[in-house]
Homo-oligomer: A and B are copies of this chain.
Amino acid sequence: MPSEPAPRRIGAADSKTRARLVDAAEQLLLEEGHAAVTSRRVGARAGLKPQLVHYYFRSMEDLFVEVFRRRAEESLARTDRALTASASLRTIWEINADPRGAAFNVEFVALAKHHPAVRAEVARYARRYRAMQLRALSRALAEAGVAPEDAPPMVALLLMTGLTQVMALEQVLGVTAGHEETLVFVQDLIDRLDGGRRAG
């Protein structure tokens, strides 16, 4: 049987040096975009030799996946805590409207289009996040007395997600016409629903 072409050795996953490289990659990704995340620049940012990137990660794609995974897990945990503390419509909206992570999304969606490993990881996270929010929103809408026929939780969730994402994205471009008006409208709606429970 044709043995594998001698895989090169990869550093331990719990290495301190490895964590520093992931930190550096994350910073570069946020500040300058994924095109700036090269082994040389990551090494320089971490104060380490660039070759170490290739020692700890089989490829640059692997490094991207690791950066994403770390942030995604943290984000899921934070959202879970917030929803456990309070599952009101207001809380769910605020979690969605939080612009942190919007810059990340832009970079990782672009990466996902052409890197299968990144795409798989982003998709996995998107599904978990969606399911978590859907559970909370279903309950919150029911408690607010909104009938599922009038506003199916999944439809409401996609509308909310889309709205916050498009506004975060336009913020980057400096296009903010209508944002304030829309935020006021949505928050009024939520106040009415959250306040007047079982009122319709």
Q: Which residues of A contact B (CB under 8 A)?
A: 32-36, 103, 106-107, 109-110, 112-114, 119, 122-123, 126-127, 130, 134, 152, 154-155, 157-159, 161-167, 169-170, 172-175, 177-179, 181-182, 185-186
Contacts and interface: CB of A to CB of B under 8 A. Distances in A.
A5 to B, nearest CB: 26
Given A103-B113, A114-B35, A169-B109, A126 B175 contact: yes
Contacts of A159: 159, 162-163, 182
B163 A178 contact: no
B33 A114 contact: yes
B33 A35 contact: no
Contacts of A174: 119, 123
Nearest to A131: B177
Contact of A170 (B32, B110, B126, B164): B126
Contact of A127 (B119, B130, B172, B175): B175
Contact of A114 (B32, B162, B165, B182): B32
A123 B177 CA distance: 11
A155 B33 CA distance: 31
A157 B159 CA distance: 11
A127 B177 contact: yes
A35 B37 CA distance: 12
B175 A123 contact: yes
A132 B185 CA distance: 22
